[in-house]
């Protein structure tokens, strides 16, 4: 109880220090809650990743306006479009993004006013790496329903994630002027400010969104996520507790099944070494949203640490269905394949990572391990593989941050060089062994004429007798 009161005081004091108004959630006088996370699947520091565990937009969004208006201007999707749209949702749920894309396109062709299909197409295109196509799809959704908040926020979010933060800010500010009662647009702008590093403004805007709609959960998530980015971890956890657990009978949880809040809490727990809690929250987040790549990558990392490469590979293969260009997922999948003895597959994944980002030190370490211990690497003899192991490990040694302290790189390099020496010695021994029979056969070849001449020598005496 004392710790709860202490955290509550700390949280309130922080808000006051920032000059923020404390907004009551549900009229109970408690401060609003908030979260933060990392989309790379790695432990991260403040501001190290712009998405910070947001997970990206969801393929199917709530139509209800956050302003509390009725949303009466929403056109109903035609039957043909609805059938294709439902098929797209099903395909997305199974990780088949190509089919989902085709079905959402079909829905949009069947009914140009199917704004949900245009939005969902944008989500899929964004995951497939087609940022321009995604932006166009989000825009098309808003030409049908001008105040369709999921598409407006997703559009700005994609701009921010592609380093067009200024455009994202301007766009959301313009939309706010059109729809001043929208909590979603204000919360979206708070997220962009947080990505930009303007934590005070982010907190202010998120609180403003909660004034417009005290039960608007994404604003609570944004507050917590901003605390996480700013390394205010206790405040982030306190905010997440309000979302996931509540503060007692009078303050029930705002959304105990919030996948994003679970993901954020799991990342904080992992960072603090709270393994069991992190495992549980990552797992639950992934159950709720199978498309949360961050959660899958994090769980796979735990599996790799515990030696379960098969489980790690399964998680990572599924994650890559939702984000084919996820560097950390491919890096870890390469390592999982190595441990499973799938050397060719491991090499394919790690070479993809090098092509994507050769400045990532860890990929060179993983390649070193693969070349040193992998069997049957395509196009490489055992000696060539060992030589490549030395090359990659030496490169890793140069790139590796010194702050990481001592590791086993030198030992691995020595093992690779010893392996080369053994291979060379075996080759020399084999050459000597092949040479020995030839040398042994050489005298027999010299003696062959003598053996052939022996009968002639035996016949000589009779010829001499005839001569006598």
Specify the pLDDT at position 453: 53
Q: Which residue pairs from 243-251 have beta carbons closer than 8 angstroms and sit at least 24 positions apart in sequence?
A: 243/33, 243/35, 243/217, 247/4, 247/30, 250/28, 251/25, 251/26, 251/28, 251/30
Please enumerate in sequence order all residues whose Cβ is within 8 A of that of 242, keeping only pairs 6 or more positions apart, or say none.
25, 30, 32, 33, 220, 251, 253, 254
Helix, coil or strand: residue 61: coil
Closest CA to 37 of 200, 211, 278, 198: 278
Specify the pLDDT at position 71: 67
**What count of other Cβ atoms lies within 10 Å of the Cβ of residue 245?**
14
Q: Which two tokens stand for residue 71?
A: 């949303």
Domain residue spans of the chain: 2-74+145-289, 302-417
Asked if the domains 2-74+145-289 and 302-417 are classified in one and the same CATH topology, the answer is yes
Q: Please report, in tens digits, the pLDDT of each residue of the chain (468 residues total).
A: 333 333 333 333 333 333 333 232 333 222 222 222 233 333 333 223 334 556 778 888 877 889 877 666 789 999 999 999 999 999 999 999 999 999 999 999 999 999 999 999 999 999 999 999 999 999 999 999 999 999 999 999 999 999 999 999 999 999 999 999 999 999 999 999 999 999 999 999 999 999 999 999 999 999 999 999 999 999 999 999 999 999 988 889 999 999 999 999 999 999 999 999 999 999 999 999 999 999 999 999 999 999 999 999 999 999 999 999 999 999 999 999 999 999 999 999 999 999 999 999 999 999 999 999 999 999 999 999 999 999 999 999 999 888 777 889 999 999 999 999 999 999 898 888 888 776 666 665 555 555 455 555 445 454 444 444
Q: Report in angstroms the alpha-carbon separations of 434 from 422, 444, 446, 449.
A: 18, 17, 20, 26
Specify the pLDDT at position 432: 85
SS3 content of the chain, % helix, strand, coil (to 5): 70, 0, 30
Closest CA to 82 of 122, 119, 111: 111
Q: Which residue pairs from 1-7 have beta carbons closer than 8 angstroms and sit at least 24 positions apart in sequence?
A: 4/247, 7/234, 7/235, 7/238
**Residue with token string 């030589």:** 387
Check residue 273 and give left, alpha or beta (phi > 0: left; psi -120 to 50: alpha).
left
Specify the pLDDT at position 439: 65
Specify the pLDDT at position 194: 97
The superfamily (CATH) of domain 302-417 is Tetratricopeptide repeat domain (1.25.40.10)
Q: Which two tokens stand for residue 421?
A: 């020496």
The domain 2-74+145-289: what is its CATH number? 1.25.40.10
**Residue with token string 């069991």:** 276
Q: Report in angstroms the alpha-carbon separations of 100 from 111, 121, 158, 282.
A: 17, 8, 20, 25
Considering the entire predicted model, what is its pTM? Answer: 0.79
Specify the pLDDT at position 229: 96
């Amino acid at each position: 109880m004392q710790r709860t009161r202490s955290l509550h005081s700390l949280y309130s004091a922080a808000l006051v220090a920032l000059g923020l108004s404390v907004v009551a959630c549900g009229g109970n006088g408690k401060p609003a809650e908030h979260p933060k996370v990392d989309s790379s699947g790695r432990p991260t520091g403040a501001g190290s990743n712009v998405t910070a565990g947001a997970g990206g937009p969801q393929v199917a969004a709530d139509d209800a306006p956050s302003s509390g208006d009725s949303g009466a201007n929403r056109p109903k999707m035609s039957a043909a479009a609805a059938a294709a749209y439902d098929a797209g949702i099903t395909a997305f749920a199974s990780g088949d993004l190509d089919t989902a894309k085709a079905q959402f396109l079909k829905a949009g062709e069947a009914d140009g006013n199917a704004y949900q299909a245009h939005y969902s197409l944008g989500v899929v295109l964004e995951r497939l790496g087609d940022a321009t196509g995604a932006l166009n799809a989000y825009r098309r959704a808003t030409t049908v329903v001008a105040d369709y908040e999921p598409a407006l926020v997703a559009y700005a979010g994609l701009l921010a994630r592609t380093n067009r933060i200024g455009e994202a800010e301007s766009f959301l500010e313009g939309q706010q002027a059109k729809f001043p009662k929208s909590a979603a647009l204000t919360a979206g702008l708070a997220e962009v400010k947080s990505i930009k590093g303007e934590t005070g403004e982010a907190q202010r805007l998120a609180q403003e969104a909660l004034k417009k709609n005290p039960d608007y959960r994404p604003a609570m998530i944004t507050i917590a996520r901003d605390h996480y980015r700013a390394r205010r971890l206790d405040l982030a956890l306190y905010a997440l507790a309000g979302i996931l657990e509540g503060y007692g009978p009078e303050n029930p949880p705002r959304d105990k099944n919030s996948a994003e809040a679970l993901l954020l809490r799991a990342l904080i727990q992992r960072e603090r070494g709270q393994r069991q809690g992190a495992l549980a929250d990552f797992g639950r987040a992934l159950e709720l949203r199978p498309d949360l790549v961050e959660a899958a990558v994090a769980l796979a990392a735990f599996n790799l640490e515990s030696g379960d490469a098969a489980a790690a590979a399964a998680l990572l293969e599924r994650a890559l269905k939702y984000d084919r260009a996820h560097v950390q997922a491919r890096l870890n999948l390469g390592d999982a394949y190595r441990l499973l003895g799938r050397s060719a597959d491991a090499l394919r994944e790690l070479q993809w990572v090098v092509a994507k980002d050769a400045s990532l030190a860890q990929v060179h370490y993983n390649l070193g391990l693969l070349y040193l211990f992998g069997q049957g690497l395509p196009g490489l003899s055992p000696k060539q593989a060992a030589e490549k192991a030395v090359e990659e490990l030496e490169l890793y040694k140069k790139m590796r941050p010194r702050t990481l302290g001592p590791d086993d790189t030198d030992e691995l390099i020595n093992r690779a060089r010893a392996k080369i020496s053994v291979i060379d010695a075996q080759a020399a021994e084999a050459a000597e062994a092949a040479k020995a029979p030839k040398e042994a056969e050489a005298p027999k070849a010299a003696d062959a004429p003598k053996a052939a001449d022996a009968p002639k020598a035996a016949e000589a005496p009779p010829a001499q007798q005839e001569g006598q």
